[in-house]
Structure 1
C-alpha cells in the first residue's frame, strides 16, 4: 500500500478508530456516550446495532485482525474521502464532476503527482468546460485550472490533516489549521485571501443557488475578533478532548458538530471556511468514530445543510458571550444532521466487523 493508505495501515492494529491519547499517555478506552439530544436521532436511524456498539465492535475486530484486514477498510474509506471532497466542493460550487474528482483524489491519496493545468487538446478538457458552464462558472482555460486546483488542493489538505491528527496523533492547533488552509487555498489567485492567514477584513456569508441572482447574506464576526475566537476554539477543543480522555467517555458526533459550528461562526479566513470546517469536523469523526459523514451531493442535502447552519447562526448570535461555551446550543440541530448522515459509515463498519468475525469462525 502506498500514499495515505500505507501511512494509516500502521495505526490499524492498535485499534480503529485510533484512540491514542493526545497527552502522550496510555490510549483511553472510550465508551461512546451520545448526548441526550442525539439519543432519539440514533433510534430513528434504525440501525441493526447502537452506534456505540458498532464503534466498539469495529475497534475490537481491528485489534484482533491487525494490518492484514486494513485493505478492506481502506477501500471503503478512500471512496468516502473522495465523496467528501466532491460533496464539500459542490456545496461551494467549486471543483469538478464526480468522475474527475475520483480520478484526481485517488491519485493524491495514493501518493501520485497530479498537474492542475492540462492542455486544451487533453481528452478531459472539454469535460471540464462542460462542468464549468453547467454550474454558471467561466468556461475558459483559467477556469479549468482553478476547478482542478479546487479538487487537488482539497484532497491534499485533507490528507495533510489526517496525517497530523491521526497518524502523528497531534492535537489540533492554530498552526495546523493555518497550514491546512494554506494547502487548501494556496495559488488560487484570490487577492482578498491570504492562504494560511486569518482575514484582516470584514466578510459576509452569502448563498444562492447556481443561476439565481437573489442571495441570502449574513455578516460575520469582526476581523479584529478572529484571533481571540480562534485561540478560544482550539483551547476549548483540546480541553474537551482532554476531559473526555480522563473520563473515557466520548461523544464524537457532538464534538465534531460543536467545532464545525464554532468555526463557521468565526469564519476566520477570507474564503475556504466551509471546506475547512468540514475537513476539521471529519478528521475528528475519523479519529473518534472511525468513519466520516457525507453530505452535499444528493437531493436537498446542500440546502438542508446551509439552512441548518443559518439557524445555528441565529442561536450563536443570541448565546455568544451570554452562555458558557459548553452550554451553548447552536450546534444541536447540526449534530443530529451529522449523526443522520453517518448512517452509511456506521453500516460499513458494522458489515466489515461482522464479515471478519464470520470469516474467522469458518476457518
Structure 2
C-alpha cells in the first residue's frame, strides 16, 4: 500500500505501506515529551486504564512496525479520513467507491477519472450524488472521482514530507498540498496560491432554512496571517523539542490550533476545509501514531461545523487582542479531536498490552 509516492526523483523508497511504516521516524530518538492538558486527560481516562500520553509514549518507545496489524489499521484510517472529510464538504462519492479508488492510489495504480456511462461502475456513482443533491450525470461522476483521487494523493504527499522526511510545515508545503488536492477539478478556482479576492461563507443556525453569509478575512491580510500561523506552529514544536523548556507537546492542542486558525483565515478560494483537516491530521498522526476520524458518521458534520462556528466567535474576540499562545478559540475543537481519536488510541493501547 503506497501512501508516499510523491517523492523527489533522487530518492528511492521501497513500494508499499509496510515499507512506509518500517521507515517511520524512530520516536525514541525524538527529544520531546507527549503531555496532554489536564482537561483532555480527564476525557479519555474515564475509558482507559492509563494516561493517553503514557500509552502514546510507550508505543513510541517500542516502535510500530513490529505489530502486524498496524499497516491494515493505518490504511483503513486513511480511507475513513478521506471519506469523512469529503462528506463534510458534500464532495467525493460513496464509501464503497472511495475504498476502491483509495486502495488503487495506495498501490500505485493509475486511476482514470473518466468512465463509460454504460459501465456498471458508472451506475454505482449515481446514488451518492443524488442523495447529496448533486447532479447524477457524467460531469458529476467524473468530478466526484477526482475529488477522491486527488485527496488521496494530497494525503500521500503530506505523509511523505511531514512524517517520512520530517519536513516542517511551511507555506510552500501548504501551497503544494493544495495543488495536489485541487488539481484538474475546477478550472475557475486558482490552485496552489492564496486568494486575492474576497470570499464569504454561508451558514444557518439550527432550525433556520435560510442561510446567512459571513464575510471572511480580507484577502490582503491572508499572507501575513499565514506567515504568522506557520511561524507560531514551528515555534511551538521547537520549544517542545527543547528539553530545557520542559513543557512537552500536546498533539491535540497543536493540531486543533493549526486547524482552527487556518479555517478562520481561509487562505484559498476553495477547499479550505479539506486542506486544514489534511494538515491537522497529518500533524496529529506524526506525534501520536493514529488519526482523529470524523465526518464519516451521521451527525459528525453538524457537530463539527457547530464547534467551528462557536470557535469563530472567540477567534474574532481574541484576534489582535490576545497573545497567540494564550488564545483559546481552538480548545473546544481540541477536545473534539481527542474524542474522535479514541479508536486509534484504543488500538494502540491494545497492541501495547497484548505485545
How far apart, CA to CA, are the structure 2 residues paired with 1:233 and 1:132? Answer: 36
1:223 counterpart residue number = 219
SS in 2 for 1:217: strand
Which residue in the other structure is 2:54 paired with? 53
C-alpha separation in 1, matches of 2:161 and 2:2: 17
Match of 1:175 among 156, 172, 176: 172
Maintained 8 Å contact 2:3/2:155: no
Question: Which residue is 2:138 aligned to?
Answer: 141
With over 3 angstroms needed to count, the CA separation of the structure-2 counterparts of 1:115 and 1:213, relative to structure 1, is farther
Q: How much has 1:2 moved relative to structure 2?
A: 4.8
Counterpart CA distance in 2 for 1:301 and 1:244 is 32
Match of 1:267 in 2: 266
Matches within 5 A, 1:1-363: 2=2, 4=4, 5-12=17-24, 15=26, 18=27, 27-44=29-46, 46-62=47-63, 67=65, 69=66, 71-191=68-188, 193-207=189-203, 214-247=210-243, 249-355=248-354, 357=355
Do the aligned partners of 2:3 and 2:156 also contact (CA within 8 Å) in 1? no
Q: Which whole-Å deviations, capped at 9, do the CAs of 1:74-107 have from their partners, x for residues lacking one?
A: 1001000100000000000000010000111111
Closer, same or farther: CA 277–3 of 1 in aligned 2, 3 Å: closer
Q: Is the 8 A contact 1:294 1:341 kept in 2?
A: yes
Q: Which has the higher helix share?
A: 1
> Cα deviations across residues 6-30 of structure 1 (Å, max 9, x unaligned)?
4523324x53xx47xxxxxxx4243
Q: Alpha carbons of 1:142 and 1:298: their partners in 2 closer, same or farther (altered >3 Å)?
A: same
**SS in structure 2 opposite 1:218?**
strand
Question: Could you say what secondary structure the match of 2:69 adopts?
Answer: helix
Name the TM-score, length of structure 1 as normaliser. Answer: 0.89
Residues 178 and 196, structure 1, Cα contact 8 Å, conserved in 2: yes
Q: What per-residue deviation string (whole Å, max 9, x for no partner) do you get for residues 159-189 of structure 1?
A: 1011000011100100000000011011112
Query: 2 CA distance for matches of 1:82 and 1:216?
Result: 33
CA separation of 1:341 and 1:2: change in aligned 2, threshold 3 A = closer
TM-score (norm 2): 0.91
Distance 1:80 1:126 in 2: 27
- The 8 Å contact of residues 203 and 214 in structure 2, kept in 1 or not, is answered as no
The Cα shift of 1:71 comes to: 4.5
Q: For residues 38-89 of structure 1, give each alpha carbon's deviation from its aligned partner in whole angstroms, at most 9, with x where no partner exists.
A: 2332334x123221111112122227xxx4x254211001000100000000
For the 8 Å contact 2:32–2:242, the answer to whether it is kept is no
- Root-mean-square deviation (CA), in Å? 1.9
Cα deviation code 1:102-157 (max 9, x no counterpart): 11111112221111111112211111122111110011111100000010000100
Kept after mapping to 1: 8 A contact 2:84/2:296: yes
Contact 1:37–1:332 (CA<8 Å) still a contact in 2?
A: no
**Structure 2, unaligned stretches of length 5 or more?**
5-16
Distance 1:151 1:40, change over 3 A: same
Whole-angstrom CA distance in 1 between matches of 2:174 and 2:352:
33
Rounded to whole Å, the distance in 1 between the matches of 2:175 and 2:336 is 27
Residues 1:285 and 1:95: Cα distance change in structure 2 (over 3 Å): same
How many residue pairs were aligned? 338
